[in-house]
Amino acid sequence: MAGPQLTFIGGCTAFENRQSGVWCKASDNTIVSGCVFYDHTDEPGSSFGLGGQYGFQNFWALFNTLHSNAAGNFGAGGTSVGTPDEVNIVGNLMYNQLTTLANPNDANEEACIKDRGSRNVSIVDNTIIDNQSGYHSPVSTQHDLHGNIIGDPKDSNGRSIYVTADSGGSSDYNVFEQTEEIGWNDNSRDSLSQHNTDTGEDANSVADTTANIDFVNSGARNYHTNVGSVVRDVSIEHGVYAAFETLYGLDIRVDRTGKARPTSDPWDAGCYQDT
C-alpha cells in the first residue's frame, strides 16, 4: 500500500506468503494492531512478518504476535525513496526469527527486528525471545529501546542489541537473558555491565544472571511470568503512550492482552503486565 493518510489493520492473521505478512510503502499514520504474522520463509533475506520502507511515517506496530519469519519478525528501511520516520514497535511478542548470520560484524545482517534506514525508532515493552539475533541497525538515527525483554541470541554471531551509530537515542529498563551481547555505537559484544560502563546506557536494565525471568512455560510459548520474576515492576512508562494519545485520542496503556498498565510507575517489562 502507498500513500494513505490513515490506515488501521487489526486482528488479522497472515502466514506463508511469498515475502511478508504486511509491508508498507510511503504510508502515513499506519497502525497495525492485534495481528499474527508467521511462517514467511520463501526469501530468507527479505521475508519479514511486518514492516515497511520508502518514507513510511508514524508507523505503529502494537500488540502483535510475530514469529517464525526468515529475515526478521519486523523490518524497516530502504532510503532510496524517502526515509521512514517515527517507527514505533510497542507491546509485541516476537520469537523464533529463522535466518542465521554470515558476518558477525555487519548490522545489515538478519535479526528479529532489523532497521536499515529509519529516523526515530522506538522499541518499547516488547518480548523479543528465542531469535537468532535481537535488534540490528547500521544507520545513524535515534534508537530508543525501553522496557523490553530481550532473549539470548541463538546464533553464535548474534547480539541482543547491535546499533552501530546512535544519534540522540537511549536504551534503558530492559531485561536481558544471561548471555547478553550488546554493541552500541560500535561492533562490541559487551556484557550489560561493560556496556553501561562504556556508554552510560541501560543504567536501570537488568540481566537474569542474578534473578530469573521465569516464564510460565517458554516451551509452549507462554511468555507470561511467574511471581518473583525479575521482569516484574522493573520498568516505567515510556513517552510513546502519551504520543499516541496526542495523535489519535486513544489511550493504549495496556499490555498485549488488553490488561491495563499501572497508572503510575513501576511497570512490568515485556509485552505482558503480570503484576
What's the rounded Cα separation, in Å, for the pair 185 and 166?
6
On whether the CB atoms of residues 24 and 52 are closer than 8 A, the answer is yes
pLDDT (0 to 100) of residue 18: 86
Instruction: Count CB atoms within 10 A of the CB of residue 109.
Output: 25
Burial level of 223, CB count in 10 A (0-12/13-18/19+)?
A: buried
- DSSP strands (E only) in 91-186: 93-95, 113-115, 119-124, 127-129, 135-137, 143-146, 149-150, 161-163, 170-172, 175-176, 182-184
The single-letter code of the amino acid at 93 is: L
Which contiguous run of DSSP H or E holds residue 251?
none
Instruction: Count CB atoms within 10 A of the CB of residue 82.
Output: 15
Residue with cell 555491565: 193
Instruction: Count CB atoms within 10 A of the CB of residue 182.
Output: 28
What does the pLDDT profile of the chain (275 residues) look like in tens digits?
444 478 999 999 999 998 899 998 888 899 999 999 999 999 888 899 999 888 788 999 999 999 999 999 999 875 554 555 789 999 999 999 999 998 889 998 999 999 887 778 999 999 999 999 999 999 888 899 999 999 999 998 999 999 998 888 999 999 999 888 999 999 999 999 999 999 999 999 999 876 689 999 999 999 999 999 999 999 999 999 999 999 999 999 999 999 999 999 999 999 999 98
On whether the CB atoms of residues 189 and 227 are closer than 8 A, the answer is no
pLDDT (0 to 100) of residue 77: 72
The domain ranges of the chain are 7-248
pTM of full prediction above 0.85: yes
On whether the CB atoms of residues 166 and 185 are closer than 8 A, the answer is yes
What's the rounded Cα separation, in Å, for the pair 108 and 34?
28
